[in-house]
Amino acid sequence: MNRRKDEGSPSGGDMADARSGDGRGTDGRGLDDGEAGDRVLLRGVRPYGEGEPVDLLVAGGRIAEIGTDLSTDADEILHADGAIALPGFVDLHTHLREPGREDAETVETGSVAAALGGYTAVFAMANTDPVADNAVIVEHVWRRGREVGLVDVHPVGAVTVGLKGSELAELGTMARSAAGVRLFSDDGRCVDDPLLMRRALEYTRVFGGVVAQHAEEPRLTVQAQAHEGAQAARLGLTGWPAPAEESIVARDCMLAGHTAGTLHVCHVSTSGTAEFLRWWRSRDSTAAVSAEVTPHHLLLTDELLGNYDPVHKVNPPLRTDADVRALREALADGTVDCVATDHAPHAEQDKDCEWSAARPGMLGLQTALGVVMHTMVEPGLLDWRGVARVMSERPARIAGLADQGRPVAEGEPANLVLVDPGSRWTVRGADLASVSANTPFEGMELPGRIRATMLRGRITAHEGKVERAEMER
């Protein structure tokens, strides 16, 4: 797609119509998207939703200038009509299913979903087939991410060989590989052996790695199908009790403290975990422990299980109203650091079956912002600075990404998302970019359309369509 220098400065109107690619500018240089020399002017954005709209001039992959009525000396002008500008979102927990289950998702389709959801970096979980427990696989995923070029794809390395929980994987080799793995997780399974967990925390500490734990004491969740409580009892489903999560979180915090390793707790789902983390952090504010919550655990409860629709099956399971309230509070006060999607695409045959046979997991990349707005912004629990914190800044810092989650300010990398806060859209699984369609938000109206996403100064998504650097030439 060629872009031309913009001639004029159309005042408002739809951003798509106003983009200078349609404007046929004066010099006809036709620069390609994303070249370092491109200058893109984002006209009329509101960083963090604060103050009057300003213009952002992006050049050389950075925010070169912020001001009002900046000159139109740009290769491209995007009229944002007051859209909110935030740092691009960072997802610490994405399942891209490649290699092995490309019938559910690929690095490419997952990258499209991520860019459309406002993400500029995602961490691809290791429970692929084969498992990402060695340098060859993590480098493959990393390379595919770069080839697609819509979002930075950072592979997560498995903690144990084959996710089997009996032998540490080659953590150092994955860290030193081209993929530069920093996050390690057996997600989908818990590293339940305390000695192995201790060794993983000790070893990753040497090179500044983070162990991301799927906290589930497996002996407490044998055959578990739903949150252990009144609803599971009514439905005749084997329960997944809250202490199965809480006991592992408590143990791992203590191991992290003891080893001075760095722990990240995946998908916190119970009020007890939130309470424990609040206490743990209050007694040692330097504790190298962080935690994430998923959008679905901020909104959905086990009340939805009444019709046994496996689209609501997820691990950890949907819990109670009281848990949802506690998780929102924990995210608002910083006890839980960030939102991570646990985007878990599943092929139709793995979801369209009886409850007990269905795989756990739900899509999340394209609905995350809408759910966070609905559950946190609209009730006044987070402002836009807070959204930037939980969806970009904290996850970037946890994962050690220097160029993501940076302020929307002059001189900073132009990894950005533009959000239209007043717009609403209806979720349709079939319209989402993933290969799979297993969204629990089907038919729900969500706020906050993503107007555009920008990765290192190049627009990757705009008005619901991705823009590729290479493929459309």
Catalytic positions, please? 342
Size of the site for ligand DOR (CB under 6 A): 12
364 binds ligand DOR (CB under 6 A): no
Encoded tokens for 431? 């319209």
Is 61 labelled a binding residue? no
Q: Exposure pattern of 431-450 as b/e (b: 16+ CB <10 Å)?
A: ebbbbbbbbbbbebebbbbb
CB 39 to ligand DOR: min, Å: 41
Nearer CB in complex with ligand DOR: 63/141? 141
Q: Is 361 in the site for ligand DOR (CB under 6 A)?
A: yes
Q: Closer to ligand DOR by CB, 117 or 361: give it.
A: 361
Stretch that binds ligand DOR, among 18-26, 326-334, 357-365, 429-437 (CB under 6 A): 357-365
Least Cβ distance, residue 152 to ligand DOR (angstroms): 21
Rule CB under 6 A: choose which of 72, 262, 270, 315 binds ligand DOR.
315
- Identify the residue among 95, 182, 449, 462 touching ligand DOR (CB under 6 A): 95
Which segments within 270-349 are labelled E, that is strand? 289-293, 338-339
Residue 404 interacts with ligand DOR (CB under 6 A): yes or no: no
96 is in an annotated binding site: yes
- Start-to-end CA span in the chain (Å): 6
Q: Which long-range contacts (CB under 8 A, 24 or more apart) does 274-283 make?
A: 274/326, 274/327, 274/329, 274/330, 274/335, 274/336, 275/326, 276/246, 276/249, 276/250, 277/249, 277/253, 277/330, 277/335, 277/336, 278/330, 278/333, 278/335, 280/250, 280/253, 281/335
Nearer to ligand DOR, 88 or 361 (CB): 361
Structure tokens at 387: 């959204």
Residue 297 is labelled as binding a ligand? no
Cβ-based nearer residue to ligand DOR, 182 or 359? 359
Q: By CB under 6 A, is residue 344 in contact with ligand DOR?
A: yes
Beta-carbon count within 10 A of 219 CB:
8
Residue 191: which of 243, 249, 240 has the closest Cα?
Answer: 249
Residue 214 binds to ligand DOR (criterion: CB under 6 A):
yes
Q: Is 381 within any annotated ligand binding site?
A: no
Q: How far is the CB of 268 from ligand DOR (least distance, A)?
A: 13
Strand, coil or helix: what is 255?
helix
- Note whether 191 and 197 are within 8 A (CB): yes
Q: Tell me: does residue 4 bind ligand DOR (CB under 6 A).
A: no
Residue 28 φ then ψ, to 5°: 60, 35
Site residues (vs ligand DOR, CB under 6 A): 95, 127, 187-188, 214, 314-315, 342, 344, 359-361
